[in-house]
Structure 1
Amino acid sequence: MTRQILFARAKRFVRHLFQHKAISIKRFNMPGVNPGYYVLAGVGGYILTSIFFLKCPIIYKKKRLLFKCSHISHRGGAAEKLENTCNAYRNAMECGTQMLELDVHLTADKVVVVSHDNHLLRTTGEDVHIKDTKYEDLPLLSKELGVTFHYHTTCHHEGNALQIEKLEDVFQEFPNTPIHLDVKIYDEELIQETNNLIRKFNREEITPWGNFSNKVTSKLYKTNPNIPLVFSMKRVALTVLTFYLGLLPFLPIKESCFAVIMPNIARKAFNPSMTESCGIRALFAVIDFLLMSNVLFTHLKDRGINVYLWVLNDEEDFKRAYKKLGVTGVMTDFPSKLNDWLKEHPQYRSDD
């Protein structure tokens, strides 16, 4: 009997079932058995099936990434050298980092530059926007910059003031180093120019890119689906929701890197006045409880997805991330401190 005939018969049966109500659940009931037991059995079967595929994710083909990095330098290691500069990247490489994390914007003359902020007041002291300024007219970086994720910490630079880096120069100096790119805004020219540079330097397989915004990540994926994609905030929330509903093992995942904040770092990273209220503390505790799941992270890793936590700057957070949560890697502002910790715990360091 052909598949088409079987499908046609099944279709007729379902139509008959719903249109004429000729089949009642009572006809399938065993004498004395409550119909609720069938519902309970169905729910139990769903839960067991979900748990099985959560532990053994064999429905979809496992991703095969060319990078698996345990040591990642956030903005190049913003607490040790000025953020997003080649000075920082060189220091990070000397400290054994395996991946650089950086941010990109586009100048008025279409140069892709490395900067977290489009408005340069924080990093240069000048009221200038990158998108409105030609590269040659960009101000020099300040010699002292506060570290965003480590309250009361300032990075000092000795020597001549530094220019904002071009992404092309970074690719040129670090041709084989995986780089995690945050495309900071939705700008089709920025996305296209960044893609052109990635392809020019043959970096498609070692340069994951992403953004908080799902609009941006959707455009990134549409522009070049061969570049590993980082989860947007919306996709993170959807992934967590489907995980707790038991649906995640049955859903395809286009992204390759699950990079999220460890919520409990807020008390260390930001001004205490921002996190001292009971309501804020409770909110962070709930988010931490839901998001920081070893079971979720293990499932994602078993599907070939790298799991990164940011931005961790203390040994107790390193320990929790690697030992308790089992993440692939950690982003830090202190590459030397993370390197020292990994030397003491080499089992958590991935091969270069």
Structure 2
Amino acid sequence: MPAFDHAVQLGANMLEIDVQETKDSVIVVSHDNDMYRATGKKGLISETLYADLPPYSNHLFLQFDRVQCISSQTDFSFVKLADLFEHHKDVIIHIDTKDGKPSLINTVSELVIKHDRFSNTVWGNMAEAKNDLSYSVNPDITLFMSIRKVALTYAMFYLGLIGFVPMKEAVFDIPMPSAIVDQFSDVLSRGQKVLAYTAHFLIMNRLLFWHLRRRGVKVVVFVLNQEKNFVIADKYCVDGIMTDFPSRLVKYHSDNCSESGETSQILGNVS
């Protein structure tokens, strides 16, 4: 919870999280079902009672920035989604339902209803079938696009048929390939870099983003941690940026966007 509190205090207006379901049906915030990477203890969250979950380690490796982060906080307990809803009632929370089991999706929906968070919750899954399940369970919660729907959107755009693609989703989450090259340039081959920059040219398209916004769809890029990548994202007029370091993005936003009247979102990827 201190990580979420810190991000919001800095100015993050959306928290991007992943959720898992414990053995006793408690929805907790966690990227992995396997607890080892985050806690050093072997076991699956889905096979563990909430009361038996071990605390997080005070040091974690951030994959998108390739650094080891050490925390001086004292509260390392797994966060219940219900508690996060209660602590940050006015902050948009973007939820990836991960394994997408019906019980998890139904419980998340029930929590959104209980806490009356329809206006500030985004949910979904990378798998199309699980996204369809989410929509069927609660069509009133804002949905982000699955990988398949994102791919279809690009294909139809370049074929000139984007206007015929129905969109029940309202958030378009995409990676920014040039940022990946920046972070992993020392381990990527020349061919891989060429492929990544080609993907960047195809993915980062202002005309497509304009079309999506006209249809009420927000464009959000992930995961950007360096100022030079914030600059690139701003040039494409994206609606939001996910980052592991909201302090860096808030500073950039303060230094560069306030005077120009820009209102781009500051998104904290603190899951």
Q: Give the shorter-chain TM-score range.
A: over 0.9
Cα displacement (A) at 1:304: 1.1
- 2:118 matched to 1:118? no
- 2:247 matched to 1:336? yes
- 2:224 matched to 1:312? yes
TM-score using structure 2 length: 0.93
- 2:95 matched to 1:181? yes
Q: Which residue of 2 aligns with 1:241?
A: 155
Q: Which residue of 2 aligns with 1:302?
A: 214
The more displaced of 306-315 and 263-272 is 263-272
Return the match for 1:147 from 46, 62, 69. 62
Cα displacement (A) at 1:349: 2.5
* Distance in structure 1 (CA, Å) of the matches to 2:145 and 2:198: 21
* Distance in structure 2 (CA, Å) of the matches to 1:190 and 1:311: 25
C-alpha RMSD over aligned residues: 1.6
- 2:125 matched to 1:211? yes
For 1:3-47, what per-residue CA distance to the aligned partner results, in whole angstroms no more than 9, with x for missing partners?
Answer: xxxxxxxxxxxxxxxxxxxxxxxxxxxxxxxxxxxxxxxxxxxxx
Q: Secondary structure at the residue paired with 2:117? A: coil
Return the match for 2:111 from 197, 209, 213. 197
Please list every run of at least 4 consecutive aligned residues from structure 1 whose deviation after the TM superposition is greater than 6 angstroms.
none
* Distance in structure 1 (CA, Å) of the matches to 2:71 and 2:185: 24
- Tell which structure's C-alpha radius of gyration is larger: 1
Q: Is the CA contact 2:33–2:44 (under 8 Å) kept in the aligned structure 1?
A: yes
* Distance in structure 2 (CA, Å) of the matches to 1:109 and 1:271: 44
* Distance in structure 1 (CA, Å) of the matches to 2:224 and 2:178: 10
Task: For 1:311, give the aligned amino acid.
Answer: V
* Distance in structure 1 (CA, Å) of the matches to 2:229 and 2:174: 14
Classify 1:125/1:206 alpha carbon distance in 2 versus 1 (closer, same or farther; 3 Å).
same
Q: Which residue of 1 aligns with 2:181?
A: 267
Q: Is the CA contact 1:209–1:229 (under 8 Å) kept in the aligned structure 2?
A: yes
For 1:99-135, what per-residue CA distance to the aligned partner results, in whole angstroms no more than 9, with x for missing partners?
Answer: 1111100000000000001001110001110001100
Aligned length: 263
Q: Is the CA contact 2:2–2:75 (under 8 Å) kept in the aligned structure 1?
A: no
- 2:49 matched to 1:138? no
- 2:166 matched to 1:255? no
Q: Which residue of 2 aligns with 1:71?
A: none
Cα displacement (A) at 1:161: 5.2
Give the gaps of 5 or more residues in structure 2: 267-271
Classify 1:161/1:89 alpha carbon distance in 2 versus 1 (closer, same or farther; 3 Å).
closer
For 1:197-254, what per-residue CA distance to the aligned partner results, in whole angstroms no more than 9, with x for missing partners?
Answer: 0110001221110121112111111111111110000000000000011111233211
- 2:207 matched to 1:292? no
Q: Which residue of 2 aligns with 1:157?
A: 71
* Distance in structure 2 (CA, Å) of the matches to 1:271 and 1:109: 44
Q: Secondary structure at the residue paired with 1:209? A: strand
Cα displacement (A) at 1:137: 0.7
Q: Secondary structure at the residue paired with 1:272? A: coil
Q: Secondary structure at the residue paired with 1:316? A: helix
Q: Which residue of 2 aligns with 1:11?
A: none
* Distance in structure 1 (CA, Å) of the matches to 2:241 and 2:265: 15
Q: Is the CA contact 1:186–1:215 (under 8 Å) kept in the aligned structure 2?
A: no
Classify 1:159/1:93 alpha carbon distance in 2 versus 1 (closer, same or farther; 3 Å).
closer
* Distance in structure 2 (CA, Å) of the matches to 1:161 and 1:176: 23
Alignment of 1:88-107 (within 5 A): 88-107=3-22
Give the gaps of 5 or more residues in structure 1: 1-85
Q: Is the CA contact 1:148–1:269 (under 8 Å) kept in the aligned structure 2?
A: no
Q: Secondary structure at the residue paired with 1:348? A: coil
For 1:36-90, what per-residue CA distance to the aligned partner results, in whole angstroms no more than 9, with x for missing partners?
Answer: xxxxxxxxxxxxxxxxxxxxxxxxxxxxxxxxxxxxxxxxxxxxxxxxxx11111
* Distance in structure 1 (CA, Å) of the matches to 2:59 and 2:181: 23
